[in-house]
Amino acid sequence: MSFSVTSELKPAFDGFKIGGIELGSPFVQAALSGYSDWAMRALARRFGASYTIAEVMLDRFVNEVRGTGKTGHYLRVEEGDHPVGAQLMGADPATFGPAAQRLVQAGFDVIDVNFGCPVRTAMGGCRGGYHLSQPEVAIEIVSRVRAAVPDRIPVTVKMRRGIDDTPESRDRFFEILDGAFAAGVSGITVHGRTVEQKYRGPSRWSFLKEVKQHVGSRTILGSGDLFSPEACVAMLQQTGVDGVTIARGAIGNPWIFEQATRLWRGEPVGNPPSTFEQRSVLQEHRALIDETYGAGRSLGVIRKFGFKYARLHPEGVDVRAAMGGVRNENDWKHLLQRFYAEDRPGCWPEVDETQTEECGV
Ligand SMILES: Cc1cc2nc3c(=O)[nH]c(=O)nc-3n(C[C@H](O)[C@H](O)[C@H](O)COP(=O)(O)O)c2cc1C
């Protein structure tokens, strides 16, 4: 899909707010299960993301996790990692409040509630997107979270545009949207696909526009199909949302935040990063992953991201194939030497809609 960005950019963008938190740029790192850990968030922020959201966590998990060992990274918030949102998913309104309090203690600045996850286990467990079918329970969850955390902590919601395309589903969407704002939420992220749709077909941006018009000055973040800097700016221009949450388009491509920012300011977007720039960021990312998970577990994690970084490489197909064969540190070193030792122009990544199997909210 190509996007036309008009030269008439939004005049004098002077930031937007999530509760008392002022954000100077509309480009946000989306919550991404399996990806938006501390390492990815640190890179996104360095490239210009104004706000980042951690991977979704189950309320029960948050209430029980020790915060150390293999799962410790979920609750990790570093000094430079602000403002950062934590996202909660669950079934029972009663367990959300204590979990939200624990996340605030861990240092998260915003508590986001997930009403979007379409995966079978979430729907079967009456969590995530399932709540779009029951506005009363959804609003009770939001109210409980709002009551549990201090006033200074904004509570937000992430929603898909409904369970499906029936008029009833649409009515329930707006009932939850209005009810959540009435219960005191400070912003809502809307992904313009239905739960039933999962990732088939486009995110309906016209719906985002309608939602933003409906809520007026309240904060709405848009989501869906943000794979290029042009798409990020086009969503802002076409829908009027206050910010955009970049998801699949930012995996293995933190440069998208910098490029979108340039475009938004009316500057040339620049070239895609050269292979030397890619290597340098891959190494930086690896070091952050080492810190997050410990060196023993980090090779598998950087490999997962490496497949995505490969989209920017002129020999992307071969890099991906080699990435699949990385089994140890020597293989990794060898891959960097083979593909990243010469400085070559990078490529604009193709749209990658394949990564949809985890909690694709
Ligand atoms: C692998 C994967 C994991 C995701 N995890 C989360 C999550 O934890 N919380 C959430 O709110 N959305 C999650 N999402 C949804 C994204 O934040 C985003 O709304 C969606 O991918 C649409 O944006 P895109 O088309 O630009 O990727 C996930 C999506 C993918 C593909």
pLDDT digits (tens, 9 = 90+) for 24-74: 999 999 999 999 999 999 999 999 999 999 999 999 999 998 777 778 889
Helices and strands in the chain: count of H runs, count of E runs: 13, 10
Q: Please tell me whether residues 82 and 192 are part of one structural domain.
A: yes
Q: Is 117 a catalytic residue?
A: yes
- Phi, psi angle pair for 110, to nearest 5°: -140, 145
- Model confidence at 359: pLDDT above 60: no
Residues 177 and 284 in one domain: no
Rounded to whole angstroms, the Cα distance separating 13 from 58 reads 36
Q: Which among 84, 72, 74, 70 has a CA at the least distance from the CA of 41?
A: 84
Query: How many A from CA of 223 to the centre of ligand 1?
Result: 8
Count structural domains, the chain: 2
What confidence score (pLDDT) does residue 2 get? 64
Alpha carbon of 345 to ligand 1 centroid (Å): 29
Alpha-carbon span 128 to 118, nearest angstrom: 7
Rounded CA-CA distance 26/324 in Å is 35
* CB atoms inside a 10 Å sphere around CB 237: 17
Q: Is 38 domain-assigned? A: yes
Higher pLDDT, 242 or 350: 242
The CA-based angle 114-120-121, given to 5 degrees, is 70
Whether 191 has a binding-site annotation, put simply, is: yes
Q: Is the ipTM of this complex over 0.90?
A: yes
* CATH number for the domain harbouring residue 149: 3.20.20.70
**Environment class of residue 141 by beta-carbon count within 10 Å: exposed (0-12), middle (13-18) or buried (19+)?**
buried
Q: In this structure, what token pair is assigned to residue 323?
A: 């990435």
**3-class SS at 50?**
coil
For residue 327, the Cα-to-chain-centroid distance in whole angstroms is 29
Per the prediction, the chain carries an average pLDDT of 94
**246 and 169 in one domain?**
yes
Segment 205-214, tens digit of pLDDT = 999 999 999 9
The residue whose two tokens read 């506005």 is 135
Q: Which two tokens stand for residue 115?
A: 């009403």
Model pLDDT, residue 355: 54
167 vs 12: which has the higher pLDDT: 167
Whether residues 179 and 302 share a domain: the answer is no
Q: Is residue 167 reached through a cis peptide bond, with omega within 30 degrees of 0 on the bond before it?
A: no
State if residue 279 touches ligand 1 by the CB under 6 angstroms criterion: no
- Asked if the structure places residue 139 within a domain, the reply is yes
pLDDT at 69: 74
- Asked if the structure places residue 358 within a domain, the reply is no
The one catalytic residue among 117, 126, 347, 359? 117
Kindly state whether residues 246 and 292 are assigned to the same domain: no
Please compute, for residue 186, the number of CA atoms within 13 A of its CA located in the half-sphere on the CB side: 19
Domain of residue 50, residue span:
16-264
Predicted confidence band of residue 11 (pLDDT cuts 50, 70, 90) = very low
**Is position 247 annotated in a ligand binding site?**
yes
